[in-house]
Amino acid sequence: MSEFEVDLFVIGAGSGGVRAARIAAGHGAKAMIAEEFRIGGTCVIRGCVPKKLYVYASRFGDDFAQAEGFGWRFGKPPEFDWQKLVAAKEGEITRLSAIYEANLLKAGVEVVQERAEIEGPHQVRLTRSGRIVTARHILVAVGAAPVMAPSIPGLEHAISSNEIFDLKTFPKRLAVVGGGYIAVEFASIFARLGSKVSIMFRADNILRGFEETMRLGLSEALGQAGVDQLCGVLPKSIEKTEDGLRLRLSDDSEIVVDQVLIATGRRPHTQGLGLEKVGVAVDKAGAIVVDQLNATNVPTIHAVGDVTNRVNLTPVAIREGHLLADRLFGGATEVVDYDLIPTAVFTTPELGTVGLTEAQARKTYDCVDIYQTHFRPMKAVLSGSRDRMIMKIVVDGQNDRVLGVHILGDDAGEMAQLLAISLRLGAKKADFDATMALHPSASEELVTLRNRTARHLREKAEA
């Protein structure tokens, strides 16, 4: 008889935990997974999947308006039904959650739908039943939760990104607090669905850390969509009134809205997990500290995904969980490569990016060449829209290697995924130039962009 009941116990059935459990079972390990909410985690239930569905919904308004330029006539203005969208979204995530559970069971993973907490290096307690399960290895994959900040009077009247998907009534006036990708995505979605949106943030522009050219371009586009951007402004209080929620702001102004969305960040969901019982190290943000093998300082306990606060993206959690199971039970030695991860911000217009920004490149490389273009996409010509696309290629000026590509416009995320392959293969700007263009397309600009727009030489420190 084995010393342990299971070889791998996974706490949290999100994308990373589910993948780890399935792969471990595929290697012949006995795996158990516990989830206190719904199987699928943040991405499937209250994150990227429902958000992308709402993004699609938000873009139809523009499509209807622009269709007239292509000869379409509509007898009456289209109407939007918020409740129908919410119900359709719920049906889809319920379907996906069921698929996740079915795939776990098919792989031979035991699924327990209750909360689990760590009792010891090899022990997990199921809180509802009180059952203690012994495990050779424990994996923590509980993700992160929204942070409701700043702490101000009336904060209880606000909601987080967890609740925004299921509002009973569509907010005609929405205040969004935060300037990161979650905040700007929801600002973009609700503005295009018909809400009057005000977004407020501490910085001087949205999306700190992204390519500066794209930040400016997206800010301009959001303004054209009617999003009021309040830079350097945060709420001081929220008061519930007969007219709605009254926000008093740090610049001494006031606005009244129907709903306030707090999107100022997320924090690893580690409280109450029992980590302190076994001495698992966490950082000041509460994230579990792991090495390149996703191992904690306790050899039998591991962590993947947002709970480590390393690279908080679903595909990263999936890769981490997959390779961890391969190493623990399949004899593999491969580790996760965090370079050149493609990312997208699903605003309208969309932002797709892979590799270094210009600012990052100039800190590291002695010579950085920039190739940049702004143009009106073909669809905008007949529709009469003010849409613009921006593309920027960042190149090592000494060896011609492409360090980063950044795109603002339709299908930017799709392009970033494919560009990531090229950059991982070490593509040079000459390879882009030698590639035949696909015409007519927006993406052809990436291979016809021949004229350098800037060269930056780094000042070398004196010896």
What are residue 350's phi and psi, to 5 degrees? -85, 145
Report the distance separating Cα 50 and Cα 186, nearest Å: 12
Report the distance separating Cα 301 and Cα 270, nearest Å: 14
Q: Which residues contact 296 (CB under 8 A, 6 or more apart)?
A: 280, 281, 288, 289, 290, 302, 303
Report the distance separating Cα 430 and Cα 228, nearest Å: 42
3-state SS assignment for residue 60: helix
Report the distance separating Cα 338 and Cα 166, nearest Å: 34
* Tokens 């010393």 -> residue: 3
Under 8 Å between Cβ of 259 and 296: no
137 a catalytic residue: no
140 DSSP 8-state letter: E
Report the distance separating Cα 298 and Cα 39, nearest Å: 27
The sheet carrying 173-177 orders its strands as 228-231, 196-201, 173-177, 259-262
* Tokens 């009254």 -> residue: 246
Under 8 Å between Cβ of 96 and 48: no
Nearest to 141 by CA among 4, 28, 379, 301: 301
Cβ-count burial of 446 within 10 angstroms (0-12 exposed, 13-18 middle, 19+ buried)? buried
Q: Following DSSP, what letter does each residue of 390-425 receive, concatenated? A: EEEEEEETTT-BEEEEEEESTTHHHHHHHHHHHHHT
Buried b (16+ CB within 10 A) or exposed e, 223-232: eebebebbee
CB count in 10 Å sphere of residue 255: 19
Q: Which residues contact 331 (CB under 8 A, 6 or more apart)?
A: none
Cβ-count burial of 463 within 10 angstroms (0-12 exposed, 13-18 middle, 19+ buried)? exposed
**Which residue of the set 27, 122, 157, 439 is catalytic?**
439
CB-based contacts of 26-29 (< 8 A; 24+ apart in sequence)? 26/107, 26/325, 27/325, 27/326, 27/329, 27/330, 28/329, 29/325, 29/328, 29/329
Could you tell me how far CA 314 lies from the centroid of its own chain? 7
| Catalytic positions, written as ranges | 439
